[in-house]
Amino acid sequence: MVANPLSNAVKYTRTRPEAHVTVEALPAAEPGMVTVAVRDDGVGFRPEYTAKLFNVFQRVHTEREFEGTGVGLATVRRVVQRHGGRVSAEGAEGRGATFTFTLPLAEADAS
């Protein structure tokens, strides 16, 4: 689940002389859930494009700027939702992005 947002963070920070990428697990607002956040200080995106990010083949940067097919985040959303979670994104053009996904914690094995 973290692989695509992490690889995107690396891709979209490569134009920076010094890039910063963080991954952290945070307690979610709801009990029994955990939120994972991937943050970067890369090229970011315009906030009005947030809804496009998780749709198949919807890109906010051109293929010339950054390679990719536009299916990675759509796949992440689909998998997360199938496991009872949700995804979100925040960004600002030229100031980086944060992608989060919230999932239920695994139940401890009672045996």
Who wins on pLDDT, 101 or 53?
Answer: 101
Tell me what the mean pLDDT of segment 51-74 comes to: 72
Residues 20-37, mean pLDDT to the nearest whole number: 93
Query: 3-104 has which CATH code?
Result: 3.30.565.10
Q: What is the pLDDT of residue 58?
A: 65
* pTM attached to this predicted model: 0.84
Q: What is the pLDDT of residue 25?
A: 93
User: How would you write the chain as a 3-class SS string?
Assistant: CCHHHHHHHHHHHCCCCCCCEEEEEEECCCCCEEEEEEEECCCCCCHHHHHHCCCCCCCCCCCCCCCCCCCHHHHHHHHHHHCCCEEEEEEECCCEEEEEEEEECCCCCCC
- Per-domain boundaries in the chain: 3-104
